[in-house]
Amino acid sequence: MTATGESPEVPETFGAIVRSLASAQKPGRGAPPYSRWINRRLGRLLAAAAYLAGRTPNQVTGLSALMTAIALVLVATVRPALWFGILVAFLLLLGYALDSADGQLARLRGGGTKAGEWLDHVVDAFKIVIFHGVILISLYRFDTGWTDTILLIPLGFIVVSSVFFFAMILTDQLRRIASAERGRTYAKPSGGGGWVQTIVAIPTDYAVLCLSFVLFGWMDGFVIFYGLLFLANALILLAVLGRWFRQLRAIDAS
């Protein structure tokens, strides 16, 4: 995201900036474990380093997209191997941490812009589709020992991930519109939250997908794990679509 307006008073040392970001961190109730406890912390470190280096949030977003793009091009072009899978997982997780850092850097610089938020979401939209697309390419190009029916897994994952992302963004926007029409301050529903939601959300954590590439040198293990992730995400999508629809019906009724 891109900052606007006057920059707030920011500490001058790396450690002080990290502590300042930690105290202003958004609540993580119900968020997946890696995103909540690891990625946000890595993002704080990268945001502090970027701030001291004079980088902008959009530059950090671009670097995140570059790390992810390099990893995904490798998946589509290089034969699966153990060392290769570890490298891909590292690059994807680095891109994910930078994706967290851009928003935190924007807060350091005084807030984000609509253009920066748009850029962040467009990059995410591309990433969701391309991520599973390159897995499909790899499974098609390189011998896995499985029949071609496994190509249905990444195809299905593209549908599930795209619908999940679009429905989540649309539901959030409709809630905001409804709050504005009623002259109220928007507050996202907390839902179940807590440890139950945190555990249930594990299969939807982007980091779990990234870490699945550690198995890329053992194709049987990767295909089974990736297939189970797809099934879990499909079931969770059906559940949350029903929940979001009921919430919007309740807003209409009120």
Question: What are 140-160's pLDDT values in tens digits?
Answer: 999 888 999 999 999 999 999
User: What is residue 6's three-state secondary structure?
Assistant: coil
Over 50: is that where the pLDDT of 1 sits?
no
Residue 56 has what pLDDT?
Answer: 94
Distance CA 123, CA 62 (A): 9
User: Is there a contact between 213 and 92 (Cβ–Cβ < 8 Å)?
Assistant: yes
SS (H, E, C) 89-150: HHHHHHHHHHHHHHHHHHHHCCCCCHHHHHHHHHHHHHHHHHHHHHHHHHHHHCCCCCCHHH
Which residue is it, tokens 């958004």? Answer: 26
Domain locations along the chain: 32-253
Model confidence at 136, pLDDT cuts 50, 70, 90, reads very high
Q: How many CB atoms lie within 10 A of CB 187?
A: 8
Provide mean pLDDT across the span 107-128.
Answer: 88
Segment among 10-14, 27-31, 119-123 with least mean pLDDT: 27-31
Model confidence at 92, pLDDT cuts 50, 70, 90, reads very high
Closest-CA residue to 120 (of 64, 164, 37): 64
Provide mean pLDDT across the span 22-37.
Answer: 76
CATH number for the domain whose boundaries are 32-253: 1.20.120.1760
Q: What is the dihedral of CA 236, 196, 168, 75, to 10 degrees?
A: -60
Token pair recorded at residue 241:
């679509």
pTM here? 0.89
Residue 12 has what pLDDT?
Answer: 76
Residue 105 has what pLDDT?
Answer: 93
Alpha helices (H) along the chain: 14-23, 33, 40-52, 57-77, 82-108, 114-141, 152-181, 194-200, 206-211, 219-253
Distance CA 64, CA 32 (A): 20
